[in-house]
Chains A and B, each alone.
Chain A
Amino acid sequence: MKKKILVVEDEESLRLLYKEELEAEGYEILTAGNGREAIQQLETGKPDLILLDIVMPVMDGMEALGRIVGKERKIPIILNTSYSGYQQDFMSWAADAYVTKSDDLTELKKKIRELLRKGKAR
């Protein structure tokens, strides 16, 4: 079975980029444009991992992170943002990884593989 990743990102071009790149890695991709959509997807789509942007309209990633953890304690979450300052926020520590956005997705893909492997062991 393909692993399902929920990509939460408000910028459409980036959403498409992640979708293509990660589908090529063999994952099934769900998408959400903000935190609120992400929480709906969490219930309907049952993803195995969440890639979460922070600065988004409607509901930002830090707020969504708390709610996701409140609903699904164990789902691996990667915070994916252009800003490193959010690592100071206590709630960001609830994420399993913090990846700063870059054109090169090598690090992100590596983290995803690691966390999905760990997830299997849980």
Chain B
Amino acid sequence: MVLAGGRGERLYPLTRDRAKPAVPFGAIYRIIDFTLSNCLHSGIRHIYALTQYKSISLNRHIQLGWNILSPPLGEFIEAVPAQQRIDEHWYQGTADAIFQNIYTLQEERPDLVLILSGDHIYKMDYRKMIAFHLERESDLTVAAIRMDRNLSREFGVIEADRDWRMIGFQEKPEEPKTIPGDPGGIMASMGIYIFNTELLVRRLIEDARSESSHDFGKDIIPGMIGKDQVFVFDFRKGDFGGTGYWRDVGTIDAYYEANMDLIAVTPQLNLYDPQWPILTYQPPSPPAKTVWIEERRVGTALNSIISNGCIISGGNVKRSILSPRVTVHSFVEIEDSILLEGIDVGRNAKIKRTIIDKEVQIPPGMEIGYHLDEDAKRFTVTDSGIVVVPKGIRL
């Protein structure tokens, strides 16, 4: 069950027209592709993606890009909108999202339920975690990663004993329990849970029938400690690639940094590993090309990711990420920027430290990212000075 209903309010305006899991990432992907690829490579092929807000873009992506399993073999990836079969409101918390789909679980009746977030960027072999869960005869297993102590207010903080049995769980605490022998570190919950199905259902029903915020981190997990068998799975044991890379791209700045990580010489998140391809939907596009090699007019792209359908025509692109169908005209300078699909950058324009959402025409000569005071009058500008140009804006 992939929780894919996140509003992603701090990613506005990238989430103006789409849910957070549908936000484009890494030139050709959507954020949810990473979790779905993990499932596929882990042999998990019975997948529900639970959507609610602004789900059209996500549904379309799943339909077009993930229609690859075999229904005759019982495999599926299905986007499930809020059914409103129990409650007529939106999901109140993560636990409520699963509880509201209890009839769906009933039809499938699996032994175990793997609950995932569609918001995170990482590569993980869930089979390792499932094996651990079975070996420990666990009722609930929660995956955890080390984070710096000063980030505790963004995470569920786990306390475990020597045998990885969970003995404490604080949701977004100011004073977190640190890792024994590592006072600067906390064990953060990654929002990845494996439950024995029957116990999950019983705990969800108890929670649904009581005063609660109906959230796994705030209510369900703390309530199970000491009562049920709850274990912690160390992400390093399931991390495919072994670099410890895991990001919740919750803010524009985090989104920008995570994208820019990809243009490093050897990125921690390796997209080029044939053992673990990230699947996505790509409409057919011609190959990327560069044109012009004259004295004053040279089309170049350096330290950049350039997707299919891009034409770099006499402009310069440095340390940037270009999604499909971006055209860069002559004498343009693009630096440290992320350009999503279908953008046309007119002659002499200059773009720096800017994210441009889909289908925007940048008029010739326009400068973005050079005068932040001016930019802030019409665009979102983050604290660290990243400018975001919203989808489809007419300039």
Contacts and interface: CB of A to CB of B under 8 A. Distances in A.
Contact of B209 (A63, A90, A91, A94): A94
A3 interface: no
Interface in B185-218: 201-202, 205, 208-211
Interface residues of B, number: 15
B86 interface: yes
Contact of B210 (A63, A66, A73): A73
Nearest to A91: B102
A92 to B, nearest CB: 10
A94 B205 contact: yes
Contact of B86 (A66, A74, A89): A66
B86 A90 contact: no
Contacts of B87: 70-71
A91 B106 contact: yes
Contact of A66 (B102, B201, B202, B211): B102
Interface residues on A, range: 10 to 19
A63 B103 CA distance: 9
A64 B370 CA distance: 60
Given A66-B85, A67-B86, A93-B202, A73 B106 contact: no
A71 B208 CA distance: 11
Contacts of A69: 86, 208-209
A62 B208 CA distance: 16
A94 B106 contact: no
Nearest to A65: B86
A106 to B, nearest CB: 27
Nearest to A73: B209
Contacts of B106: 89-91
Instruction: Give chain A's interface secondary structure class.
Output: helix
Interface in A26-82: 63, 66-67, 69-71, 73-74
B182 interface: no
A66 B86 CA distance: 5
Contacts of B102: 66, 90-91
Contacts of B202: 93
B1 to A, nearest CB: 14
Contact of B205 (A63, A70, A93): A93
Nearest to B104: A90
Contacts of B86: 66-67, 69-70
B294 interface: no
A17 B85 CA distance: 31
Interface string A11-36: 00000000000000000000000000
Interface in B295-328: none
A90 B206 CA distance: 12
Nearest to B197: A90
A52 to B, nearest CB: 15
A55 B187 CA distance: 49
Interface string A92-111: 01100000000000000000
A30 to B, nearest CB: 21
B209 A93 contact: no
A94 B105 contact: no
A36 B188 CA distance: 45
A116 to B, nearest CB: 16
Contact of A90 (B85, B105, B211): B105
B9 to A, nearest CB: 26
A69 B208 CA distance: 8
Nearest to B211: A73
A107 B309 CA distance: 73
B383 interface: no
B208 A93 contact: no
Contact of B103 (A73, A91, A93): A91
Given A69-B208, A74-B209, A93 B201 contact: yes
Contacts of B209: 69, 73-74, 94
8 contacts: A69-B209, A70-B86, A70-B87, A70-B88, A73-B211, A90-B103, A94-B205, A94-B208
**Closest CB pairs A-B (n = 9):** A70-B87, A70-B86, A66-B86, A90-B106, A90-B201, A94-B205, A73-B209, A90-B102, A93-B205
Given A63-B85, A67-B85, A94-B205, 14 more contacts: A67-B86, A69-B86, A69-B208, A70-B88, A71-B87, A73-B210, A74-B210, A89-B106, A90-B103, A90-B105, A90-B106, A91-B103, A91-B106, A94-B208
